[in-house]
Amino acid sequence: MDAAYKRINGNYGPDAEKEQGTEPRRRGSMYLEEETNKKTEVISCIFSLKEEVGALAKALRLFEDKGINLMHIESRTSQTKDQYEFFINVDSSCSKALDEVIDGLRTQISGNVHELSRNKQKDTVPWFPNDIQDLDRFANQILSYGSELDADHPGFTDPVYRSRRKEFADIAYNYRHGQTIPRVEYTEEEKNTWGVVFKELKTLYPTHACREHNRVFPLLEKYCGYRQDNIPQLEDVSRFLQSCTGFRLRPVAGLLSSRDFLAGLAFRVFHSTQYIRHSSKPTYTPEPDVCHELLGHVPLFADSSFARFSQEIGLASLGAPDEYIERLATVYWFTVEFGLCKQGSEIKAYGAGLLSSFGELQHCLTDKPKLLPFDPDKTSLQKYPITEYQPIYFVADSFEDAKEKVRKFAATIPRPFTVRYNAYTQSIEVLDNCKQLNNLAESINSEMAKLCEALRKLE
């Protein structure tokens, strides 16, 4: 459950207090202001330098001149020839000075800088990606990176696991849209952990999972290498999803903000982790991992109705005010993560948080929790625990019905435009002028003509 919570809210609880009296931390950004990590209060950056004598000394002098204390620094070879990359943490109180250092790195030393976590400045309408390549702009704006683990994480004291997590983070950090997702050689220990989870959950799916999940799962076994002794590769799974519904996977190095994560869904892109939970606790993970993604989320993304429903939540988030992002994240929590649906006279699970948790998958269909009908207006305001089984679940009549309800809810979001996804160009069309409305009308007319022709041929 912690994993699903962090998927949509990062490290913060639904009732977390907002910082008072702070200034926007990122100059010139079109993003909305968000909180920094409350536990560590750090800003994380990666900068790359050419491999030449004195380059690092010059860079460090910039930090020294501005009085910035580096809380952490580590180096690694860059994928770019003759360059090295440096990952740093600085105290968030140095945010203003850091802007000047970043400018110096770029202008005086010709360094490349990527900010991984930083508060974002408010704007009238929050920036959102216009085409699928724009996802590259925030894919590394994450709330944690690589081997950074909380003290209560099962792998916190395991240096081998922490090093392995950094390997996965580096893969995601260097990924760009259109590239092939690098294949991972999973260790025997990692495969054994996957095998424990896979075996236990597969025994429950026939009786507890929705029919869409059970219809797709055998296809994943046949075409994507879903087996007890094998962890599927993200690239294989992504290609399978694209052939089914146009959804695709994108590796992510850590936890995205709710706004950024939901924006990916608008393009039918799911930001997926590639690492696996620690072997000491195979039935528990405090964050999303490859078991949660591949066993819980992926099967439903291959279903056309569920894919449309998920995308509808993403489209509703584009340009939405902060308070509505929080409400949409709550809708996501009670549907995509912990949703139940009616199927005939029975109720089945379709939420990934349920389908990847052996214990809660059983709990959700007992008489212990309270079941309520899915209504976005009410669901989006429901509070929920993150460290225990849910006391309340919302039941959808169907994915199509849930999609229409989310669409009506989205119409109440105060934004001066409507958006539409163009699958041909993989871009977002903002419907705020006559030309765009004309194009939409022509597209609808064309589709209606095809529908009428098909109906005539069936007579």
Q: Tell me the per-residue pLDDT of 356-405, one tens digit each, with 9 for 90 and over.
A: 998 999 999 999 999 999 999 999 999 998 878 999 999 999 988 888 99
Residue 147 has pLDDT above 90, yes or no: no
Residue 295 has pLDDT above 90, yes or no: yes
Inter-CA distances, 433 with 76, 320, 416, 440, Å? 49, 19, 11, 11
Q: Tell me the per-residue pLDDT of 418-453, one tens digit each, with 9 for 90 and over.
A: 899 999 999 999 887 888 888 889 888 988 999 999
Residue 353 has pLDDT above 60, yes or no: yes
Q: Of the ranges 33-42, 88-97, 273-282, which one carries the lowest mean pLDDT score? A: 33-42
Q: Taking the model in full, what pTM does it have?
A: 0.75
Predicted pLDDT at 316? 92
Q: Where are the alpha helices (DSSP H) in 285-422?
A: 290-291, 298-301, 304-317, 322-332, 352-355, 358-363, 376-379, 399-410
More confident of the two residues 210 and 254: 210
Q: Tell me the per-residue pLDDT of 184-225, one tens digit each, with 9 for 90 and over.
A: 999 999 999 999 999 999 999 999 999 999 999 999 999 999
Beta bridge partners of 73: 88
Predicted pLDDT at 427? 93
Instruction: Specify the DSSP element, H or E, that contains 450.
Output: helix 434-458
As a whole number, the mean pLDDT across the chain is 83
Count of C-beta atoms within a 10 Å radius of residue 297: 24
Residue 6 has pLDDT above 70, yes or no: no
> Which residue numbers are catalytic?
292, 297, 337, 356
Residue 169 has pLDDT above 70, yes or no: yes
142, 117 contact by CB (below 8 A): yes
Predicted pLDDT at 41? 61
Predicted pLDDT at 86? 80
More confident of the two residues 3 and 392: 392
Predicted pLDDT at 13? 42
Q: Are strands 42-50 and 70-77 parallel, antiparallel or unpaired?
A: unpaired
Residue 8 has pLDDT above 70, yes or no: no
Predicted pLDDT at 31? 27
Residue 145 has pLDDT above 90, yes or no: no
Distance CA 362, CA 349 (A): 10
Predicted pLDDT at 72? 79
Contacts of 20 (CB under 8 A, 6+ apart): none
What's the sign of the alpha-carbon dihedral 203, 207, 212, 214? positive
Q: Of the ranges 16-20, 325-329, 374-378, which one carries the lowest mean pLDDT score? A: 16-20
383, 354 contact by CB (below 8 A): no
CA 43, 48, 54, 60: dihedral to nearest 10 degrees? Answer: -10
Predicted pLDDT at 335? 93
Predicted pLDDT at 350? 94
Predicted pLDDT at 143? 65
143, 254 contact by CB (below 8 A): yes
What's the pLDDT band for 92 if we cut at 50, 70, 90? confident
Predicted pLDDT at 243? 96
